Structure 1
Amino acid sequence: MKSLKKQRRIQVIAVTAVALIVSTALIGYAMRDGINFFRSPSQVAEAPPGPTEVFRIGGLVEDGTLKRGQGETVLFSVTDGAASVPVAYTGVLPDLFGEGEGMVGTGRYVDGTFVATEILAKHDESYMPAEVIDALKEQGVYQDPNAELPTN
């Protein structure tokens, strides 16, 4: 009698473990397209991702690179101070988008150009996405706009 009870307990544990593994695999499979990793321009330059990988890139819009093409296509470069990546975007840019301003784009890196499907810009004069700040700090370029200026 006890061995039957023990055997039933082992079966229940085994079925529960298999169900947990299957549900975890299904959740991971469902989320595979919804996960976008952030990369700085330096990381993209060092190890370019494949053309099918969707990721986010962020930095400052490089001065003198903003060019409006035919129709709604806009070309510019995004930089973190150490590297620069050309970006192509077809669509309407946010109102606060401009040269020297912070931005984050979602898209793919195809033939040396980041082809963006979405562009986000800062929403006020001092805001910059946390990922962009971290990347700029890593490069030693970030200056806190709220920091007090040194007095002599």
Structure 2
Amino acid sequence: MNPRRQKRLLAVSSIVLLVAAAAWMMLSALSENIDHFYTPSEIIDGKDGTLPKVGQRLRIGGMVVPGTVSRDQETLAVTFDLVDTGPAVTVSYTGILPDLFREGQGIVATGRLTDTNKIVADEVLAKHDEEYMPPELAEKLKGIKHVKPKNYGAGQ
């Protein structure tokens, strides 16, 4: 092979390799920061055949179960249960809750999964009017009227 062509081939191959490495590094960094949306049922039962991993960042949407909101009198810590059409998931949050937050309200929380059914939230958002609901949650709850799960409230 001609030495000039060899140099050109080496230069082009190096550039392609560097671009591929840079793209791989960007995609791997971005994949760590993606917040996947789950409903409480999907956290317990899995979504598309896979369960979320403990420590994974995620967003969860559901209804706050009446009677489960517990506030610490000393700090801004709050715990409550979220439910959709199945089992409940416990959410812990430290901070000021939105003004529209209340029991029986639809919310979306962003945080980390700390146990199979416990989330520590960094952010809690409440719906802004009676008609709004996150698209992912609206699709899951379409045509279903909210009823407390059978296994919930057994010890209360």
Q: TM-score range by the shorter chain?
A: 0.7 to 0.9
TM-score, reference length from structure 2:
0.77
Displacement of 1:119 in angstroms is: 0.6
Question: Does 2:86 match 1:82?
Answer: yes
Counterpart of 1:133 in structure 2: which amino acid? A
Structure 2 unaligned spans of 5+: 147-156
Coordinate RMSD, CA, aligned: 2.2
Q: TM-score, normalised by structure 1?
A: 0.79
Equivalenced residue count is: 140
Alpha-carbon distance change, 99 to 28 in structure 1, aligned in 2, over 3 angstroms? same
Amino acid at match of 1:118: E
Matched ranges for 1:1-152 at <5 A: 3-47=2-46, 49-70=52-73, 71-111=75-115, 112-137=117-142, 141=144
Moved more, 29-38 or 57-66: 29-38
Q: Which deviates more from structure 2 when the two are superposed, residues 7-16 or residues 76-85?
A: 7-16
**C-alpha distance in structure 2 between counterparts of 1:10 and 1:85, whole Å:** 57
Q: Is the 8 A contact 1:60 1:100 kept in 2?
A: yes
1:4-51 Cα offsets, whole Å, 9 max, x none, are 343233223211211111211221243244211111111111245333
| Unaligned residue ranges in structure 1 (runs of 5+) | 144-152
Counterpart Cα distance in 1 of 2:120 and 2:10: 52
Kindly, what percent of the aligned residue pairs are identical? 39
